[in-house]
Amino acid sequence: MLPLLLAAALALAPKPHIVWKPIPYGPTRKAEMAAYAERHYGIHSWVLHPKVIVEHYTASNSFSAAWNAFAANTPDPELHELPGDCAHFIIDRDGTIYQLVHLNVMCRHTVGLNYVAIGIEHVGTSDAEILHDRAQLRSSLELTAWLVDRYHILVRNVIGHNESLSSPYHRELYKPWAHQTHADWNHPDMTVYRGKLKALLRADARR
Ligand SMILES: [Zn+2]
C-alpha cells in the first residue's frame, strides 16, 4: 500500500520544453519592481513567492511583438510608473513556450496580483482562439500543470486575468485601481481550462 501511495505522490507533471528568451531585467528594473510593490502592495521587494497563476492573451498576433513590448520597459500611460508590463512566459501559436523572466522575480501583468502571481501570455486575440489551437493549448496546460506541481498551487488559484478581482490574494493599495481588470480569459472559458488542467494533472498522477 505505502509504495503505491508514494509512487502516486511522486508522479508529478513533467517539465515541458521551455525556450529561455530573457528580457532585460537587471538591478534597475528590479528596484523599479520593488518600488511598485511597495506602493501597490506594501511590500518592498521584487522577490516572487508564487501562489497564483494568471492566464492572459496578448491581443496581438506575434510572439516578437509581445516580447518587444515587455523588453521595452515602458511606463504605463496613467501613472507613468515603471517597471513596464511583462509576463514570465509567452506561448506562441505553434506551442513553443518562451520564458522571459526568472520565476523568483515579480512581473507586472495583473493589477492586484503581481506580488504573488506567475503570468502566462498566449499569442492571440481571444480565449476561444487559444482554446481551439491544439498545439498552443497543449503547451499551456503542460506548462501550467508543471508550475502547479512545482509550487503547490491550488487549481482554483489558476485564474484568467478577467477573474483577478475575485482572487482571495487580490490586493491593491492604489484605490483607483482597486476594481481594475481586463477582459482576457473570463470565468466561463477558465472553467473549461481548469477542467482540462485537472484531467491532465490526474493523468500525470497515474503515470
Ligand atoms: Zn491580461
**pTM of the full structure:** 0.94
Please report where in the chains the cell 490574494 appears, as a residue.
Answer: 169
Neighbours of ion ligand 1 (CB under 5 A): 56, 161, 182, 184
| Distance from Cα 54 to the centre of ligand 1, integer Å | 8
| Distance from Cα 160 to the centre of ligand 1, integer Å | 8
* Single-letter code of the amino acid located at 142: E
Supply the DSSP symbol for 175.
G
| Distance from Cα 65 to the centre of ligand 1, integer Å | 15
Q: How far is CA 22 from the centre of its chain?
A: 15
> Would you mind telling me the total number of residues written for the chain in this entry?
207
How much of the chain is helix, strand and coil, in % rounded to 5?
45, 15, 45
Secondary structure class of 9 (helix, strand, coil):
helix
Query: From first to last of its 207 residues, what are the pLDDT tens digits of the chain?
Result: 455 555 455 678 999 999 999 999 999 999 999 999 999 999 999 999 999 999 999 999 999 999 999 999 999 888 899 999 999 999 999 999 999 999 999 999 999 999 999 999 999 999 999 999 999 999 999 999 999 999 999 999 999 999 999 999 999 999 999 999 999 999 999 999 999 999 999 999 887
**Residue 201: its H or E element:** helix 187-206
Q: What is the CA radius of gyration of the chain?
A: 17
| Distance from Cα 13 to the centre of ligand 1, integer Å | 25
